[in-house]
Amino acid sequence: MDFVKPTIEYAELAPLLIVLGGACLGVVVEAFVPRERRRLVQVALAAVVLVAAFATTIWVATDLAEVADGAARGLLAAEGTIVVDGPTVFLWGLVLLLSLGGVALFAERRLEGGVSAFAGQAAALPGTEAEREVSTRGWEHTEVYPLLLFAVGGMMLFPASNDLLTMFVALEVLSLPLYLLCGLARRRRLLSQEAALKYFLLGAFSSGFFLYGVALVYGFAGSMQLAAIAEAVRNDTENQGLLLVGMGMLAVGLLFKVGAAPFQGWTPDVYQGAPTAVTAFMSAATKVAAFGAILRLFYVAFGSDRWSWQPMMWAVAILTMVVGAVVAVSQTDVKRMLAYSSVAHTGFLLTGVLGVQGAGELAEGQVTSLQAVLFYLTTYGVATLGAFAVVTLVRDSNGEATHFDRWAGLGRRSPWLAAAFGLYLLSMAGIPLTAGFVGKWAVFTVAMSAGAWPVVLTAIASSIIAIFFYVRYIRIMFFAEPEAGPDGLPGEVASVTTPSLLTSATIAVGVLATVVIGVVPGPVLDLAARAGDFIR
Amino acid sequence: MYSLSEAAHQVPVIDPSAADGTFSLLWLVIGLPLIGAAVLLLGGRATDRWGHWLGTLASVGSFVVSVLLFVELRGREEAERSVTQHLWDWIAVGDLEVGLDLLYDPLSALFLLLITGVGSLIHVYSIGYMEHDPRRRRFFAYLNLFVAAMLMLVLAENYVGLFLGWEGVGLASYLLIGFWQHKHSAAAAAKKAFVINRVGDIGMALAIALLFTTFGTTSFSAISEVSGAAEEDTLTAVGLLLLLAACGKSAQVPLQAWLLDAMEGPTPVSALIHAATMVTAGVYLVVRSNFIFELAPHAQTVVVVVATVTLLWGAVIGCAKDDIKKALAGSTMSQIGYMMLGAGLGVAGYAFAIFHLITHGFFKANMFLGAGSVMHGMNDDVDMRRYGALRHAMPVTFLTFAMGYLAIIGFPGFSGFWSKDKIIETALAENWVVGVLALLGAGITGFYMTRLMLLTFLTSKRWKDDVHPHESPAVMTVPLIVLAALSVLGGVLLLGDWIVEWLAPVVGEAPHHEPPLPIIVITLLTVAVVAVGVAAAWFLVGRREVPLTPPQDVSFATRAARADVYGDAINDVLVVRPGAATVRGITAGDRTLVDGLFTGGSSGVKAVGNVLRRLQNGFVRSYALSVLGGVLLVVLALLAVNLA
């Protein structure tokens, strides 16, 4: 049997390889570098790897060849299993930037009095002598950095995969490190471990559906390649049932990852239980990657058959927005509120996804659905990362104070931080002059022009409901007095712990981006437009 | 009916050259008072001690620059007397491009001199007048703000820039009328002025919008070039909207009601803003927009009608007021009516409107400051029935006031004689009905001014013993003397038709119209009518005992005049009551319908949220079930759509 050496386009895949290589290197560091120097080396390594990957991403982006008469740019790499095209590099850049913010939050040590927010030793049972010993020695888990890099590698591969099997592998590569990271909180460890286990169980469950979907679609098309599937969808009329059920199963796997209803059950529990730094990273970057995969799968593989899946997306989008917005209203915990808000945003993003139209139906210069979703992901990612970063700073004697009563009057005690949080919330609510407004405008317009007016109407109604629970936080922070406790004395209120430069810089950059993109959205919209179409 | 059609074709095009040399200082004229206002407002109490000096200095500095510019402009060829300075690009949205551009031409040059000159005198006067007011620094800050805004108004090269100044003077006027805000009446008067002006401002905003949609620009020079190409109906609409704006700012009927109440402000404010400068902005607007009005004869006709009604309306009010400032305010309304009449008469009248505007600026500022000086000596009493025989106690005030008096009634040789006579003459030449009414107005002017003069300075002493009238300090009387001199000599501007020729590049040259009577006859007639008015006042007021309280058994005409010719009552019936009823209706609708929907909706959302929330029970098995349900939903949706 001949063994043919596969061709690997190293130059174009460099960002991906750098991240995964860096992750492997991180594991080696964990084994060989002494404990006291490990954190510094790991943080530096992660930061350097992400920056280097981002730099090479830009380099790759400027160098992509045009294909399909200039409608798209890029190439198929690694024997056609990975595709490096405009949307891929856009998503790579976005994931890398958000991950850089994630690393900064992971590395923050000033909030817990000199240690990180992660458990000293995951294996030490909560409440035992072993845990106390680890705690007194000041150990910490530095494995979180390689884990983060592996997850980032998976997130980069996910939207770039050009066949179903690669996509599945990417899904697992990004998910498994996240399950672990969720269980590593230093405080409230039981809650954290419970969250990790729930996430793992449900993730495995939905992965099963995805894999089943892969099998069914393969049965229909006889190939894993997205292009071949698209070909089969166009030409074959046999076995429609196989295709439709397979499509549904694949959709379930992906919709689970983005937290669409009714697959959103894990979101609030996991967002609440995970260390907030992980929540910040996960909620921002995972959504970017998973929506990249949804876009590629449904636009490239099933694009010619969009009439069959659009109604399903309508139903899911409507349900997701309503559930996210309505349940968020009755939340009293800031992390759960943000979790439901992220569910609602998933609905808005799906509104953009289902706004796809054929090239001929678009007016000249109109924003495409791909462009709109990419833009929305940018605004959402920045605001979410920043909002959770703020949550890490608002603390009382028990660690992070996430109950909203504790936030009363925060605006008077720490006006700048409260203003930053308020700005992120306004951006999520889609108030003009913030980035979120332009994002919402973009996805609503594309859905409207595709005729999905019932979805857009629901989206607008949900936005109105959403404004209520966002603005309620602003009211609590700036206009409410702290409530009296049961003993009649003023209740305990949260105060802001001064962070190191890492967290402050993340928050400040997020604020700046939110305002700048809100006031001058042109450059980012242009960038999303320049990314062009997927390579089919 | 009145028409000017044959004159409607020689509208001069505004074609300015870029500012260079001395003219590049143009921005300083606005900049100095603006900086003054900024320093005084932002500097806070630290500037209390020297704030009034800084404010005065800023205004005087602006005057010096204005004089320099004026000298430079006179040195130029007639065709070259128009310069523009582009400060920066201000607004660029779609097709709308507005630069912060200034236009300096013979018309704005005169305004610059009037505003900064009279303004500076009033600044000096206020140093004395406001000496004991704890908020004097703030007062000077507002005065500077007003001067800057007024200069912006007359220097702007486009309607948007003019609107900036227009709103700026409105703000300053509001702040200064309500300067003594602890007095309820002052606060209410400020509000009234603001609200009525808003009505006019709507006209202005709509006019600008209409100009932009018609011509694609708001620049004077660009519109003056192409206005002939527009349809007459459009131009008439623009003209009427501009007239509405002018009515608001210049207290013309039907938006006249605020001016009398505006006298609640400190007297220097009444002199500067509500007599000499701001209230004449409407006249400026009409003259500046000659390229619109010349092509919209119907709008011009409306201007003439409004002006004629106002000049009589104001004069009638002036006859019955016992409050010295309100009597002067009625007279201001009436005199602006004359200016507006001149402006409405078109090319023949523009120059005389501006001429009367300037002389009026001198003599009315003079008389208002004189009234302030009287009040200063009379414990701030404004009731003329408690004055009398003040000529001995305040000789300087009396003499300077007398100069103003002679000027306003048009005593031969004084400034008002030349300027008002010209307007009456032109009116008679254009339309005899309007001319005769203007002539009648001159007679009433003679009556009410003589009455004011008699009650205040002549007749017998009626003040109480605890009042000790005294002459004001030099810082107040020197400006009075200067203004009195100007009131006497203002007529020199007409020597050799100087002002007509000076303004010709802006407003055009009038074709000669033969008046129905020889000019000398008209002049004599005017003097005779005024003399009748003066005599009537002498017999009705001067020869009788003046009761301390106004008699109640008076004729209908007097009652009407005392009630401002029912201006407020008309507003109340036509606007205020229907407005209030509408607001009540809308509020009720808002409370029941909108709020009901809103609160109902939100409690519904909350209830649903609480139900859905229970599904989030924390058990993985429930979540997994929900996922399974989702799988069914997704697959069934796909199958139902495609296989049904």
Q: Which residues of B590-616 are buried (b: 16+ CB within 10 A; e: fewer)?
A: eeeeeeeeeeeeeeebeebbeebbeeb
Residues of B in contact with A465 (CB under 8 A): 605
How much is the pLDDT for B496?
Answer: 81
A529 touches chain B (CB under 8 A): no
**Minimum Cα–Cα distance from A262: chain B residue:** B630
A265 touches chain B (CB under 8 A): yes
How much is the pLDDT for B1?
Answer: 32
- CB-closest option in B606, B623, B630 to A330: B606
List, for residues B358-408, the tens digit of each pLDDT value. Answer: 999 999 999 999 999 999 888 888 888 888 888 888 999 999 999 999 999
- CB-closest option in A205, A323, A329 to B627: A205
How much is the pLDDT for A2?
Answer: 79
**Minimum Cα–Cα distance from B609: chain A residue:** A327
Yes or no: say if B169 and B278 are a contact pair by the CB < 8 Å rule. yes
- CB-closest option in B605, B622, B635 to A245: B635
- CB-closest option in A269, A311, A465 to B618: A269
Tell me which residues of chain A, numbers 68 to 87, contact chain B at a CB-CB cutoff of 8 Å.
none
Our CA-based measurement puts residue A335 at a distance from the nearest CA of chain B, in whole angstroms, of: 15
- pTM recorded for the entire structure: 0.69
Our CA-based measurement puts residue B88 at a distance from the nearest CA of chain A, in whole angstroms, of: 21
Residues of A in contact with B632 (CB under 8 A): none
Rg of the Cα atoms in chain B: 29
- CB-closest option in A251, A262, A326 to B605: A326
CA distance A292 to A161: 10
Strands A82-85, A72-77: pairing is antiparallel
What are the distances in angstroms from CA A295 to CA A76, A96, B595? 17, 19, 41
Residue type, A463: S
Residues of B in contact with A330 (CB under 8 A): 606, 609-610, 613
How much is the pLDDT for B348?
Answer: 87
B635 touches chain A (CB under 8 A): yes
Least confident piece of the model among A376-380, A461-465, B577-581, B600-604 = B600-604
Cross-chain residue pair A202–B624, CB shorter than 8 Å: yes
- Under DSSP, the state recorded for B393 is T
Compute CA A396 distance to the chain's CA centroid, rounded to the nearest angstrom. Answer: 28
CA distance A497 to A504: 11
Rounded to 5 degrees, φ, ψ at B389 are: 55, 35
**Minimum Cα–Cα distance from B604: chain A residue:** A326
For residue A175, pLDDT over 90 is answered with: yes
How much is the pLDDT for A117?
Answer: 86
Cross-chain residue pair B634–A316, CB shorter than 8 Å: yes
Residues of A in contact with B622 (CB under 8 A): 265
H/E run at residue A526 = helix A522-530
Residues of B in contact with A197 (CB under 8 A): 620
Residues of B in contact with A249 (CB under 8 A): 631, 635
Our CA-based measurement puts residue B619 at a distance from the nearest CA of chain A, in whole angstroms, of: 9
B639 touches chain A (CB under 8 A): yes
How much is the pLDDT for A486?
Answer: 62
- CB-closest option in A263, A269, A309 to B627: A263
- CB-closest option in B608, B613, B620 to A201: B620
> Which of B256, B441, B425 shows the shortest CA–CA distance to B342?
B425
- Give me the residue label for tokens 């449900």: A202
How much is the pLDDT for B279?
Answer: 92
Interface mutation vs chain A, best among B610, B620, B632, most A CBs within 10 Å: B620
A201 touches chain B (CB under 8 A): yes
How much is the pLDDT for A488?
Answer: 59
Per-residue 3-state assignment (H helix, E strand, C coil) for A86-152? HHHHHHHHHHHHHHHHHHHHHCCCCCCCCCCCECCCCCCCCCCHHHHHHHHHCCCCCCHHHHHHHHH
- CB-closest option in A262, A269, A330 to B609: A330
- CB-closest option in B612, B624, B634 to A312: B634
Compute CA A346 distance to the chain's CA centroid, rounded to the nearest angstrom. Answer: 10
Residues of A in contact with B637 (CB under 8 A): 248, 311-312, 315
CA distance A35 to B338: 94
List, for residues A397-416, the tens digit of each pLDDT value. Answer: 888 888 888 888 888 889 99
B611 touches chain A (CB under 8 A): no
How much is the pLDDT for B190?
Answer: 93
Q: Which residues of B218-231 are buried (b: 16+ CB within 10 A; e: fewer)?
A: bbbbbbbbebeebe
Tell me which residues of chain A, numbers 210 to 249, contact chain B at a CB-CB cutoff of 8 Å.
240-241, 244-245, 247-249
- CB-closest option in B612, B624, B633 to A327: B612
Residues of A in contact with B644 (CB under 8 A): none
Our CA-based measurement puts residue A75 at a distance from the nearest CA of chain B, in whole angstroms, of: 32
CA distance A497 to A509: 19
pLDDT (average), residues A275-279: 94
Low-confidence ranges of chain B (pLDDT < 70): 1-10, 512
For residue A507, pLDDT over 60 is answered with: yes
Our CA-based measurement puts residue B616 at a distance from the nearest CA of chain A, in whole angstroms, of: 7
Cross-chain residue pair A240–B637, CB shorter than 8 Å: no
Our CA-based measurement puts residue A220 at a distance from the nearest CA of chain B, in whole angstroms, of: 15
Q: Which residues of B619-633 are buried (b: 16+ CB within 10 A; e: fewer)?
A: ebeebbebbeebbeb
pLDDT (average), residues A208-212: 96
B599 touches chain A (CB under 8 A): no
ipTM for this model = 0.91
> Which of A108, A100, A87 shows the shortest CA–CA distance to A48?
A100
Yes or no: say if B133 and B121 are a contact pair by the CB < 8 Å rule. no
Our CA-based measurement puts residue B103 at a distance from the nearest CA of chain A, in whole angstroms, of: 33
A309 touches chain B (CB under 8 A): yes
Say which residues have a Cβ less than 8 Å from residue A426's Cβ, sequence separation at least 6. Answer: A434, A436, A470, A474
pLDDT (average), residues A386-392: 94
How much is the pLDDT for B245?
Answer: 95
How much is the pLDDT for A405?
Answer: 84
Cross-chain residue pair A206–B627, CB shorter than 8 Å: yes
pLDDT (average), residues A484-499: 72
Residues of A in contact with B638 (CB under 8 A): 244-245, 247-248, 308-309, 312
> Which of A48, A37, A18 shows the shortest CA–CA distance to A142?
A37
How much is the pLDDT for B580?
Answer: 92
